[in-house]
């Protein structure tokens, strides 16, 4: 008899993969940080289900809230109001530092939330120019309103047309030359691989180049927004260097362009704060959330500051999707936020994150293949290198789908240690659910310790 895994393999299109290599494992149940297959194998999910399950699988409070909501309202259009949708919008508006007089647009994925952010930034600038409130002094008025979005090369914002177009990740190449126009890429902010040097001087040079870039792209007369992941996710888990986010905020203010922060991976407490940008004391103009916000039902949010949202009081917000503000998903998201705060998971994440960081730095001392250890909260990576002195990577940024020893290490962890990590990153991904215990972290780190011997042996064989 054909199993459901066989049926899925035959009829389901796996994302970002060669279909002939697709071999899904049949899952019997999930609980906490663990996935159990039909043959009784227990696998630790060290990537939190694509970073979506911050509270682990089947959190009882969230499950109960969703079950209760199913008996009331699952979905109505936004011509109607539901209690969880309204409360979630208010809660998110109030959780952002500063004025709570904000508005929230709901979608179903981080990519869709990014699409809303891009469109809103351009429409806001259109409203600003057409309303006569902007002085066009930076460049000739060759186009009626600012439209350019500046992003960074080490970034991933999603696979829809607009979101992929503003992503520097090699996955963007799959849609070229049909990318959405009006996107300019800037250098990254990476302490380990900093083109501008290390420390505060490196940050100043990076910001100075961004200032030059904005000016050369037409300044506030052509550039609408700067889009960044607060902590870079898929492209290496890269926290910004000290001072970078504050100076980026100042630069955007100088040029009167909007700052959009993508918190799809880092929101919902992943870094030990509800939003990662809270670590840096800034207020973005637009915030993107997704993934863990929805927990067990897809929902994402684009949060607009008061000045953005008010520009649409008398102008049409020209964007929308079916299922926006889905009541069932909103109920799960709302209860998840309550769990984060009432069960002190933010504080726990900071404490366990410090402990995890210490354990991972110990591995760096033992294993020559580890070039850098970096992270924040429970969002960490071990970047693997062929040479510590030159920092030559074991998988280059352009080799995302090339089989390297990094994939061998991920396969060992999965098949031999029952630890699930993605095999397409630039090192070892250490992103457990926030409900992880210290004992589970120790077990995971011990498994990684053994797996890194594969990388060390690869370096020895290359000599």
Residue 219 reports pLDDT greater than 80: yes
Same domain, 16 and 109: no
Same domain, 300 and 359: no
- pLDDT digit string (tens) for 367-389? 999 999 999 999 999 999 999 99
CATH code: domain of residue 188: 3.40.640.10
Average pLDDT over residues 281-293: 97
The answer to the question of residue 361 being in a domain is yes
Q: What is the pLDDT of residue 141?
A: 55
Same domain, 11 and 102: no
Helix (H, G, I), strand (E, B) or coil at 311: coil
> Strand pairing partners for 226?
150, 259
CATH code: domain of residue 357: 3.90.1150.10
DSSP 43-67: EEETTHHHHT-TT-BT-HHHHHHHH
The answer to the question of residue 121 being in a domain is yes
The answer to the question of residue 449 being in a domain is yes
- pLDDT digit string (tens) for 158-177? 999 999 999 999 899 988 88
Helix orientation angle between 244-255 and 199-216, rounded to the nearest 10 degrees: 20
Q: What is the pLDDT of residue 142?
A: 56
The answer to the question of residue 64 being in a domain is no
The answer to the question of residue 401 being in a domain is yes
With cut-offs at 50, 70 and 90, classify the pLDDT of residue 139: low
Same domain, 351 and 435: yes
Last residue of a domain, one of 293, 312, 342: 342
Residue 136 reports pLDDT greater than 60: no
Q: What is the pLDDT of residue 196?
A: 94
With cut-offs at 50, 70 and 90, classify the pLDDT of residue 138: low
> Strand pairing partners for 225?
149, 258
Same domain, 209 and 97: yes
Contact partners, residue 279, CB within 8 Å, separation at least 6:
271, 273, 376
Last residue of a domain, one of 327, 342, 357: 342
Give the global pTM.
0.95
Q: What is the pLDDT of residue 266?
A: 97
Same domain, 117 and 260: yes
- pLDDT digit string (tens) for 410-446? 999 999 999 999 888 889 999 999 999 999 999 999 9
With cut-offs at 50, 70 and 90, classify the pLDDT of residue 132: low
Q: What is the pLDDT of residue 102?
A: 96
- pLDDT digit string (tens) for 7-52? 999 999 999 889 999 999 999 999 999 999 999 999 999 999 999 9
Same domain, 381 and 335: no
Q: Which long-range contacts (CB under 8 A, 24 or more apart) does 90-94 make?
A: 91/334, 91/337, 92/289, 92/301, 92/303, 93/303
The answer to the question of residue 37 being in a domain is yes
Helix (H, G, I), strand (E, B) or coil at 461: helix
Same domain, 239 and 385: no
Last residue of a domain, one of 276, 308, 342: 342
The answer to the question of residue 372 being in a domain is yes
- pLDDT digit string (tens) for 50-101? 999 999 999 999 999 999 999 999 999 999 999 999 999 999 999 999 989 9
Residue 135 reports pLDDT greater than 60: no
Same domain, 225 and 266: yes
Same domain, 185 and 54: no
Same domain, 258 and 363: no
Residue 124 reports pLDDT greater than 60: yes
The answer to the question of residue 63 being in a domain is no
With cut-offs at 50, 70 and 90, classify the pLDDT of residue 115: very high
Domain count, the chain: 2
Quote the domain boundaries for residue 356.
Answer: 4-58+345-462
Same domain, 132 and 226: yes
Q: Phi, psi at residue 238, to the nearest 5°?
A: -115, 100
Residue 201, exposed/middle/buried by CB under 10 A (0-12, 13-18, 19+)? Answer: exposed
């Amino acid at each position: 008899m054909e199993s459901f895994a066989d049926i899925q393999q035959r009829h389901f299109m796996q994302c970002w993969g060669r279909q002939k290599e697709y071999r899904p494992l049949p899952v019997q149940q999930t609980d906490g940080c663990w996935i159990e297959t039909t043959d009784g194998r227990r696998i630790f999910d060290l990537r939190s289900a694509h970073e979506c399950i911050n509270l682990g699988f089947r959190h009882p409070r969230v499950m109960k809230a969703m079950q209760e909501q199913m008996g009331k309202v699952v979905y109505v259009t936004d011509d109607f109001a539901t209690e969880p949708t309204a409360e979630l919008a208010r809660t998110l508006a109030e959780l952002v530092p500063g004025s709570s007089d904000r508005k929230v647009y709901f979608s179903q994925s981080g990519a869709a939330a990014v699409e809303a952010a891009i469109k809103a930034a351009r429409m806001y600038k259109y409203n600003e120019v057409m309303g006569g409130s902007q002085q066009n002094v930076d460049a000739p008025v060759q186009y009626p309103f600012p439209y350019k979005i500046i992003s960074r090369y080490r970034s991933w914002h999603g696979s829809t047309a607009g979101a992929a177009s503003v992503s520097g990740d090699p996955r963007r190449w799959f849609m070229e030359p049909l990318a959405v126009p009006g996107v300019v890429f800037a250098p990254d902010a990476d302490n380990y691989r900093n083109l501008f040097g290390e420390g505060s001087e490196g940050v100043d040079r990076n910001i100075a180049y961004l200032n030059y870039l904005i000016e050369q792209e037409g300044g506030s007369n052509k550039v609408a927004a700067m889009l960044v992941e607060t902590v870079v996710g898929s492209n290496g888990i890269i926290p910004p260097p000290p001072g970078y986010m504050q100076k980026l905020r100042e630069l955007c203010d100088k040029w009167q362009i909007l700052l959009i922060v993508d918190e799809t991976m880092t929101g919902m407490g992943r870094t030990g704060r509800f939003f990662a940008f809270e670590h840096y004391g800034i207020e973005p103009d637009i915030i993107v959330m997704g993934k863990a916000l929805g927990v067990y039902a897809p929902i994402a949010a684009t949060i607009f500051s008061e000045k953005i949202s008010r520009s649409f009081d008398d102008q049409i917000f020209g964007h929308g999707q079916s299922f926006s503000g889905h009541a069932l998903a909103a109920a799960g998201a709302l209860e998840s936020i309550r769990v984060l705060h009432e069960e002190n998971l933010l504080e726990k994440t900071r404490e366990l994150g410090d402990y995890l960081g210490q354990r991972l730095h110990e591995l760096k001392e033992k294993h020559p293949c580890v070039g850098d250890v970096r992270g924040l909260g429970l969002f960490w990576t071990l970047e693997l290198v062929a040479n510590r002195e030159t920092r030559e990577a074991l998988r280059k940024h352009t080799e995302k789908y090339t089989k390297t020893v990094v994939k061998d290490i991920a396969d060992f962890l999965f098949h031999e240690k029952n630890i699930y990590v993605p095999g397409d990153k630039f090192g070892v991904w250490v992103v457990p659910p926030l409900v992880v215990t210290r004992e589970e972290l120790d077990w995971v780190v011990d498994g990684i310790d053994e797996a890194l011997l594969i990388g060390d042996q690869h370096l020895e064989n290359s000599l």
